[in-house]
Amino acid sequence: MRSWKSILRFTGVVLLIFACGLSYGCGKRTTTGAAIGGAAGAVAGAVIGHQTGHKAEGAVIGGVTGAVIGGAVGHRLDKQAEELAKIAETRRTEQGVIVSLSENTIHFAVNSSEVNEESRGTLAELGQVLKNYPEDLITVTGHTDSDGAADYNERLSLMRAQAVSDIIMAQGVPANTITVRGYGETQPLVANDTAANKAINRRVELSITVDESKVPEE
């Protein structure tokens, strides 16, 4: 039979976890976020259960709490995707959010990473949204068509991705949350067999995932 001290200790843990879960509020939850959070929470709950002697209860509590936290992450990704979609082509994925900046959205000078003024304004708008999500981990990738030498295209794609990153960072997005890569012609969306298709392949993409430890309370 457990002592009254262990009972109080277990009760305190339950209340603490419940309070943490409530701090994330209610609202729309994504299945992916809740599932990931549930798995992580179950692990933490198992540890709690071991310490309290209530292994089964601990796993259940941890799983429920993790699902609440994961749901909050998913909710913020949904919200961010909606805001970004007003500015550029955006899609929500199981891992996060992808923003695709095609030639219809941003314009570079031919064989250059120089962004024109209108496009700079668009990128500044994106940066203003992104800075409101400090939990973001952003990978900016540049892509070209297959015209020209492969090594030149790789360098050009990296320079264009860096140019986009620089404008976004100028809006207050922390540099340490952004990774820049240039893939050149290696990741086409369509075959490089027509001028229209080549225009589709010339793009910069922002892939956004989340550092859950930095998600603010809502």
Q: Is the pLDDT of residue 8 over 80?
A: no
Backbone angles phi, psi at 209, to 5 degrees: -120, -170
| pLDDT over threshold 80, residue 52 | no
* In contact, 207 and 98? CB cutoff 8 Å: yes
| Distant-in-sequence, close-in-space partners of 92: CB < 8 Å, separation ≥ 6 | 77, 78, 81
CA 175, 180, 182: angle at the middle one, nearest 5?
A: 165
The correct CATH number of 90-214 out of 3.30.1330.60, 1.10.1060.10, 1.10.274.100, 3.40.50.720 is 3.30.1330.60
Mean per-residue pLDDT for 153-168?
98
Break the chain into its structural domains and give their ranges: 4-79, 90-214
193 pLDDT above the threshold of 80: yes
Least confident residue range of 65-69, 185-189, 203-207:
65-69
- Which of the four pLDDT bands, split at 50, 70 and 90, describes residue 216? confident
For residue 145, how far is the Cα from the chain centroid? 26
